[in-house]
Chains A and B, each alone.
Chain A
């Protein structure tokens, strides 16, 4: 299977199953697209008739191009067959029962009242609560006990607003550090925060202990303050931006993301990215809102065209900034063509419900943070372990090949079958497909690969 597209002034051909990326000229682009469905003589005839005035397009040069395609095919870099179906369930089978990451819902409460919040202002459709040290400690022990030989364990402090329970965050980090040597583990912590409670203590602690911090900022002041308001309805932009600037400056080279959400109100989200850049931030993530279709902030079909265009313009801006020596990062355009994930990972699907789970303030386990509050998805608890085997098996059996819609999709080895929560909310099944999200994902991948190809060719030419 191939996917061919034009972007950023380049003609790009992706060979899906080998992972190869080819940048080709206009004529080769046409020939590759015809190659599997036409005889050579017909290709020669059609290409000659399409480029009658180009002296370089001759029967001989077309034949040479066909020979080159044949060589790439023999080398397994073009039209490689999909032979991966038998290994689709392999990784989950190999690591069955191993848990390597937990999302700790350290606070089901929030000091902001953002109406677009998928966690319904941190409450996840339930009661307000904060996690006790005892529950958190048990969660960390549960993780260590179930992590097998896996050394790196990831723990996210999530909410609601985790800093509303910062004392317990500190205690849990201290506890984890006290056992990691003896247990042969390395904890990697992430903190997600809306910034309201960020102070010098939070900055010092997080920059020492957190591998990553995710800082919520929607970009332009008017965009941010439309949703990210306190319980009196006051916007939070003025309050948090200086705190985030101080936080990031003090962070040095450690990872962080400014993470924004765009909605029906700002499908032109590139302006928000530019605002983040103007504020001095360079590690950026901007996500389409996740909400019910009838929610006023939901992205519409009309918005989709605008969003697609924004993704392309963002890629152009990134390339321009890269060439000017002022690069910045966009989370969804990070792609390592040489060192990315192996094929097992690419076909096995999201690890939710198997290697990754969310823990509520009460210690209940859910397949991921987006399922918290959906009672039928409760897997068990950190005290009793996973008891809802039926639901876990459903997640265990999710992979690229269990979704019929993914079979002929060129992006399947980049998305691994997509987000189970988005699929469930869109179709009622974790094995469904959230097609709106698929369209955006595919555009992001086209942009990401174009950027990498352009940077590589900059180095070559």
Chain B
């Protein structure tokens, strides 16, 4: 049996250094009619 784990951002870890608020506002730029945050970039250089 096989389980392959894709490398992802650890959300629990991001609780330590995240929350700077530098990232884009949710539906700001392209769609204007719905909300998603999954496609946004993190701009927190400390966290990175």
| A residues neighboring B (CB under 8 Å) | 17-25, 27-28, 31-32, 56-57, 61-62, 64-65, 68-69, 72, 76-77, 80, 83-84, 87, 90-91, 94-95, 98, 100-101, 103, 118, 150-152, 154, 156, 158, 190, 192, 212, 214, 257, 259, 285, 287-288, 290, 331-346, 350-352, 355-356, 368-370, 413-420, 422, 437, 441, 444-445, 448, 452-453, 456-457, 460
Residues of B2-24 at the interface with A, using a CB-CB cut-off of 8 Å, are: 2-12, 14-15, 17-19, 21-24
Contacts of A57 in B (CB 8 A): 1
- Which B residues touch A415, using CB under 8 A? 35-38
A22 pairs with B11, CB closer than 8 A:
no
B11 A17 Cβ-Cβ under 8 A = yes
Interface of B is mostly: loop
Expressed in whole angstroms, the Cα–Cα distance for A288 and B31 within the complex equals 10
Task: Identify the closest chain B residue to A151 (Cβ).
Answer: B22
Q: How far is the CB of A91 from chain B (nearest CB, A)?
A: 5
For the complex, would chain A's binding face be called helix, strand, loop or mixed by DSSP majority?
mixed
In the bound complex, CA of A154 to CA of B21 (Å): 13
Evaluate contact between A342 and B47: CB separation under 8 angstroms: yes
CA distance in complex: A61, B1 (Å): 7
Decide: B23 and A341 in contact? CB cutoff 8 A. Answer: yes
Contacts of A72 in B (CB 8 A): 3, 5
Chain A residues, Cβ within 8 Å of B15: 84, 87, 342-344
Residues of B within 8 A of A100 (CB): 21, 25
State whether A91 and B19 are in contact (beta carbons under 8 Å apart), knowing that A76-B12, A416-B37, A445-B38 are contacts in the complex: yes
Provide the bound-state CA to CA distance between A23 and B7, in Å: 11
Inter-chain CA distance A212–B41, complex, in Å, is 15
Per CB-CB distance, the 8 closest pairs between chain A and chain B, nearest first, are A342-B18, A344-B19, A342-B14, A419-B35, A356-B25, A334-B39, A65-B1, A19-B11
Across the interface, do B25 and A154 meet the contact criterion of CB distance under 8 Å? yes
A445 and B39 alpha carbons, distance in the complex (Å):
10
Contact of A413 among B11, B17, B42 (CB under 8 A): B11
State whether A340 touches B29 (Cβ < 8 A). no
Q: What is the minimal beta-carbon distance from A239 to any residue of chain B, in angstroms?
A: 23
- Cα separation A113 to B25 with both chains bound (whole Å): 29
Q: Which residues of B approach A to under 8 Å, CB–CB?
A: 1-12, 14-15, 17-19, 21-44, 47-48
Closest residue on chain B to residue A19 by CB atoms: B11
Q: How far is the CA of A207 from the CA of B47 in the complex (A)?
A: 32
- CA A338 to CA B37, docked complex, whole Å: 14
Q: How far is the CA of A90 from the CA of B33 in the complex (A)?
A: 26
Whether A19 and B9, one on each chain, are in contact in the complex, defined by CB atoms closer than 8 angstroms, is yes
| Contact yes or no, A355 B25, CB < 8 A | yes
Chain B, residue nearest A190 (CB)? B29
Q: What residue in chain B is nearest A27 (Cβ atoms)?
A: B1
Assess whether A342 is in contact with B42, with CB atoms less than 8 Å apart.
yes
For the complex, give the distance between the alpha carbons of A411 and B6 in Å.
18
- Best-buried of B2, B3, B29, B44 by chain A (most CB within 10 Å): B3
Contacts of A342 in B (CB 8 A): 9, 11, 14-15, 17-19, 42, 44, 47
In contact, B10 and A351 (Cβ under 8 angstroms): no
Do A332 and B31 touch across chains, with their CB atoms under 8 A apart? yes
In the complex, the answer to whether A212 meets B6 with C-beta atoms within 8 Å is: no
Closest to B39 in A: A334
Q: Is the CB of A351 within 8 A of B26?
A: yes
From residue A356, how far is it (CB to closest CB) to chain B in Å?
A: 4
CA distance A337 to B6 in the complex (A): 9
Q: Smallest CB-CB separation from B19: which chain A residue? A: A344
A335 partner, pick from B7, B18, B39, B42, beta carbons under 8 A: B39
Chain B residues within an 8 Å CB radius of A417: 35
18 CB contacts below 8 A, A to B, read A17-B11, A21-B8, A25-B3, A28-B2, A287-B33, A290-B33, A332-B31, A332-B39, A336-B42, A337-B6, A338-B8, A338-B9, A342-B9, A342-B42, A350-B35, A356-B26, A419-B34, A457-B4
Q: Please, which residues of chain B bring their CB within 8 A of the CB of A103? A: 28
